[in-house]
Amino acid sequence: MASIRAYHRPTTLDAALELLAREEVRSVPLAGGTVLNGLPTEIPEEVVDLQALHLSDISRDGAALDVGSMTTLRDFVDHEWTPPALRDLALRQAPNTIRNAATIGGTVATADPESGLLAGFLAYSATVRITRASGSEDVALHDFFDDHNPLDGGLITSIRIPIGGQAVFEATARTPADTPIVLVVGHLSDAGSLRLAATGVASGPVIIDPGLIDDLEPPPDFRGSAAYRRHLAGVLAARVSGRLQQGGAP
Ligand SMILES: Cc1cc2nc3c(=O)[nH]c(=O)nc-3n(C[C@H](O)[C@H](O)[C@H](O)COP(=O)(O)OP(=O)(O)OC[C@H]3O[C@@H](n4cnc5c(N)ncnc54)[C@H](O)[C@@H]3O)c2cc1C
């Protein structure tokens, strides 16, 4: 049975990138390890632990939050600057045992198709900072998801979230604690522009246009057909938009 042959714990970003760039060995970044240790799709030869790289700060630059990629979901939930809707989506994302270890960077890199938190980041127009040996670039999260190889040897070092305005979400699930069949998050910026994002209507979290919901082609499963998911998306999008127009009323 395949197993990990070596564990590295570099203390600088350059050293981590150098380890990950080696062509003779398949090494991958290790963050909280909840997917890599628990549910790996493929076992790497070596892992490069990111925990000594000082990537777990949350800072504020004007109206934007910079969340270090190694920030745990628990610290994100607990932080005073985290917008309430994103805090609630992170709480829904996984139980506290997982939240204590799972990181924001790992969540973005894994791109779980049903992650409500990622839909929240899309609604907030979040960007992902990718750092490579050649330098850093900021990529809109929706472009990150559209790209088949967004990292290309790089590491996610932070996520930038413009935190002005307000956001709410609505979801339909089989039980209150179950993963939603469809979840819609809306963000209304201070300038009055509305952005909606959803899970359960495409192969991953996506930005949706309320006028084009009939064009969505959700992958059906045992929890709901494509038509049912489209119907839910329309109902939830209308509710979210209505609540935001009333100032985010519950
Ligand atoms: C029991 C269980 C329940 C879960 N429930 C949910 C759920 O309900 N919703 C949900 O969305 N997810 C869920 N997950 C998935 C998982 O918890 C999240 O996706 C998590 O946030 C992954 O973060 P991590 O730090 O543990 O990543 P890791 O396991 O350390 O890494 C995951 C992947 O991301 C890569 N990676 C990590 N950090 C970086 C980085 N900074 N730059 C580049 N690549 C990186 C790794 O190489 C690896 O391929 C669940 C997992 C488990 C085990």
Atom of ligand 1 nearest to the CA of 31: 30
* Cα–ligand 1 centroid distance for 106 (angstroms): 4
* Cα–ligand 1 centroid distance for 33 (angstroms): 7
Does residue 85 form part of some domain? yes
Instruction: Tell me: do 64 and 151 sit in the same domain.
Output: yes
Instruction: Tell me: do 87 and 174 sit in the same domain.
Output: no
The answer to whether the CB of 106 is under 6 A from ligand 1 is: yes
Instruction: Tell me: do 102 and 151 sit in the same domain.
Output: yes
Does residue 250 form part of some domain? no
Q: Which of 4, 30, 35 to mutate to test the pocket of ligand 1 (most atoms within 8 A of CB)?
A: 35
**How far lies 186's CA from each of 132, 157, 171, 238, in Å?**
32, 26, 12, 10
The answer to whether the CB of 131 is under 6 A from ligand 1 is: no
Domain residues for 236? 166-245
Long-range contacts of 226-233 (CB under 8 A, 24+ apart): 228/181, 229/181, 229/182, 229/200, 229/201, 230/201, 232/172, 232/181, 232/182, 232/200, 233/182, 233/184, 233/198, 233/200, 233/201, 233/208
Does residue 215 form part of some domain? yes
Ligand 1 atom 36: residue of nearest CA? 106
Q: Which of 8, 110, 147 to mutate to test the pocket of ligand 1 (most atoms within 8 A of CB)?
A: 110
Atom of ligand 1 nearest to the CA of 47: 47
Does residue 185 form part of some domain? yes
How do residues 59-100 score in pLDDT, each as one tens digit?
A: 999 889 999 999 999 999 999 999 999 999 999 988 999 999
Domain boundary among 162, 192, 215: 162
90-101 CB burial, b ≥16 within 10 A, e <16: bbbbbeeebbeb
Instruction: Tell me: do 35 and 65 sit in the same domain.
Output: no
Instruction: Tell me: do 76 and 19 sit in the same domain.
Output: no
How do residues 160-174 score in pLDDT, each as one tens digit?
A: 999 999 999 999 999
Ligand 1 atom 19: residue of nearest CA? 107
Instruction: Tell me: do 212 and 155 sit in the same domain.
Output: no
How do residues 94-143 score in pLDDT, each as one tens digit?
A: 899 999 999 999 999 999 999 999 999 999 999 999 999 999 999 999 99
pLDDT more than 70, % of the chain:
97
Confidence of residue 43 (pLDDT cuts 50, 70, 90): confident
How do residues 183-211 score in pLDDT, each as one tens digit?
A: 999 999 999 999 999 999 999 999 999 99
* Cα–ligand 1 centroid distance for 239 (angstroms): 30
The answer to whether the CB of 33 is under 6 A from ligand 1 is: yes
Domain holding 230: CATH number?
3.30.390.50
How many domains, in total, are found in the chain? 3
Instruction: Tell me: do 186 and 226 sit in the same domain.
Output: yes
The answer to whether the CB of 69 is under 6 A from ligand 1 is: yes
* Cα–ligand 1 centroid distance for 86 (angstroms): 17
